[in-house]
Structure 1
Amino acid sequence: MITAVARLRARPGHEDRVRKQALSLVAPTLAEPGCLSYRPYVDPLDPGAWLVFEEWYDRASFDKHLTSPHMVEAFEAGAELLDGPPTLTLLEG
């Protein structure tokens, strides 16, 4: 199993758009083969700070997820919406 933790920060003034996009990724991601869970969280004290926790059956499933149409679209939008690229930590369990 692979657990991925993505940290991202909304560009100031884009917090609502990042929230909308983050939540729109839940359903299509959960429908992907190998996805065990996908949960985005916003920091209640800092609405620009997000953590996304994902659990995948294996690394191949996670890697395929990164090239899915909804993720490619999210990565493209991130250039405008995020205050820098997300950081990603992968854990094996």
Structure 2
Amino acid sequence: MSLTIIAGFTAKTGREDDLRTALEAMIEPSIDEPGCLAYQPYTDPNEPSRMVIIEEWTSQDALDLHFQTPHFKHVAEVLDRLLAEPFTIRHLTDVN
């Protein structure tokens, strides 16, 4: 059973492009990680300061390893400067 993650972000006013750049920079290194099945950021067209990343991982262990990577630790520091509020993470699993 895979694990789907929805991480939500709200940029500070005027930092929307910086947030988009930071999230896009996470795609390639995350996709290259063992256990990452999908990793895609999206912007809310009605509220450009709001963005999400929808991720799919083979297991909780793979996700836990993701949180320990240098690229995740770097983006977490960058997000501290760009976000209007702490980011949220929702863990979802298949209904069946």
In the superposition, the TM-score normalised over structure 2's length comes to: 0.93
2:4 is matched by which residue type in structure 1?
A: T
1:70 is matched by which residue type in structure 2?
A: H
Q: Unpaired runs of 5+ in structure 2?
A: none
In the aligned structure 2, how far is the partner of 1:37 from the partner of 1:79?
Answer: 24
C-alpha deviations, 1:15-54, integer Å up to 9, x for none? 1100111111100000000000001000112111001100
Runs of 4+ in 1 over 3 A off after TM superposition: none
Equivalent in the alignment of 2:23? 22
Q: Unpaired runs of 5+ in structure 1?
A: none
In the aligned structure 2, how far is the partner of 1:18 from the partner of 1:49?
Answer: 10
SS at match of 1:11: coil
Q: What's the offset of the Cα at 1:92?
A: 2.0
Identical columns (%):
34
Aligned pair count reads 93
